Amino acid sequence: MVAKLLDGKAAAAAWEAELSAKLRGLPSPPKLVLVRVGDDPASGIYVKKKIEMCAKIGITSELVHLPENTSEASLLSRIASLNADKSVNGILVQVPLPKQIDALNVQKAIHPFKDVDGFGPKSMGYLLMGRPRFVAATPAGIMRLLQHYSLSPAGRHCVVVGRSNIVGKPLAVLLLQDDATVTIAHSKTKDLAAITKQADFLFVAAGKANLITKAMVKKGAVVVDVGMNKNRMGKSCGDVDFKPVSSVASFITPVPGGVGPMTIMSLMANTIKAREFQNQKE
């Protein structure tokens, strides 16, 4: 078997067209404020890509770039001003944050109707209750990618490798809501291969290059690789040993060009949704 590609660029382009049409129907564009603290180079690239997509699709964006030594109190006060600013629909604080700042305090501070990253406790709570408002961009993008290829996880055994708050946990909840039977694996899981081998749908978000080999994948499985790593040659790669696994999987995401483009588009969708929440009561 040679797996078909789950082409995130194509799926994101289709989604972009849908969102652009929605934006054209609005009286004025929504506004997203991106807050970056410090000079982490990877964060710089992610923020730039998000701003570029805003410009392309017709969302107004603004970058607030604060120095590395910004105190938590000063960041929280900046967020309070953005919460109060009626012209701002969505607020995104790029992670990772410098060590003097507790990310949870920041996520709690963002108004729940402006929490376009979906990392805040209210957004996470609503998701867990089965009434999602803002869903974290990567898991939401993955669900959309599956839909684009008419792949339904309902009734299937889905294995999620990784349990972070921003990818693994919300993804597992979304799959459960779509009637999948879900297993979550992590670094303390014993005999990972025995678990992954049972997966009809395998999602890998561990951040470990080549963690998943061909021997760990069931024939015909759908494989979604969230990982973003650099291999020994400095080339981008995911967590899945792509070529050998492609020979057993039925569908597989490339890295790059799989989950990444869907993540950015999810953020655009969440910003448009934030605009719809404006003026509503909590």
- 187 in contact with ligand NAP (CB under 6 A): yes
- 208 in contact with ligand NAP (CB under 6 A): yes
List the catalytic residue out of 114, 115, 117, 200: 117
- 133 in contact with ligand NAP (CB under 6 A): no
Taking contact as CB under 6 A, which single stretch among the options 55-63, 105-113, 117-125, 156-164 is the one that binds ligand NAP?
156-164
Taking contact as CB under 6 A, which single stretch among the options 17-25, 27-35, 54-62, 184-192 is the one that binds ligand NAP?
184-192
Q: What share of the chain is helix, strand, coil (3-state, %, to 5)?
A: 40, 15, 45
Taking contact as CB under 6 A, which single stretch among the options 115-123, 148-156, 179-187, 193-201 is the one that binds ligand NAP?
179-187
- 114 in contact with ligand NAP (CB under 6 A): no
- Residue 50 among the catalytic residues: yes
Distances, alpha carbon 54 to alpha carbons 93, 267, 272, 279, in Å: 16, 9, 11, 22
Cβ at position 59, least distance to ligand NAP in Å: 18
List the catalytic residue out of 50, 169, 218, 273: 50
- 118 in contact with ligand NAP (CB under 6 A): no
Q: Using CB under 6 A, which of 173, 211, 248, 267 touches ligand NAP?
A: 211
- Residue 278 among the catalytic residues: no
Distances, alpha carbon 66 to alpha carbons 32, 76, 203, in Å: 17, 12, 35
Is the CB of 206 or the CB of 217 nearer to ligand NAP? 206
Q: Among 233, 234, 229, 232, which residue's Cα sits nearest to residue 256?
A: 229
Cβ at position 161, least distance to ligand NAP in Å: 5
- 44 in contact with ligand NAP (CB under 6 A): no
Sequence-ordered alpha helix ranges (H) in the chain: 8-24, 41-57, 72-84, 103-109, 121-128, 137-148, 168-177, 192-196, 242-246, 259-277
- Residue 117 among the catalytic residues: yes
Q: Using CB under 6 A, which of 3, 37, 93, 185 touches ligand NAP?
A: 185
Chain centre distance of CA 59: 19
> Which letter, b or e, does each residue of 190-203 get, where b requires 16 or more Cβ atoms within 10 Å of its Cβ?
eebeebbbebbbbb
Strands 181-185 and 222-225: unpaired
Is the CB of 64 or the CB of 103 nearer to ligand NAP? 103
C-alpha torsion 161→154→132→160, nearest 10: 0
Cβ at position 73, least distance to ligand NAP in Å: 26
Q: Using CB under 6 A, which of 90, 120, 153, 227 touches ligand NAP?
A: 227
Q: In degrees, to the nearest 5, what angle opens at C-alpha 230 toward C-alphas 194 and 226?
A: 50
Cβ at position 86, least distance to ligand NAP in Å: 30
CA distance 11 to 15: 6
Contacts for 211 with CB less than 8 Å, ≥ 6 apart: 161, 204, 227, 239, 240
Catalog residues that contact ligand NAP under the rule CB under 6 A. Answer: 138, 161-164, 166-168, 185-189, 192, 205-208, 211, 226-229, 259-260, 263
- State the catalytic residues: 50, 94, 117
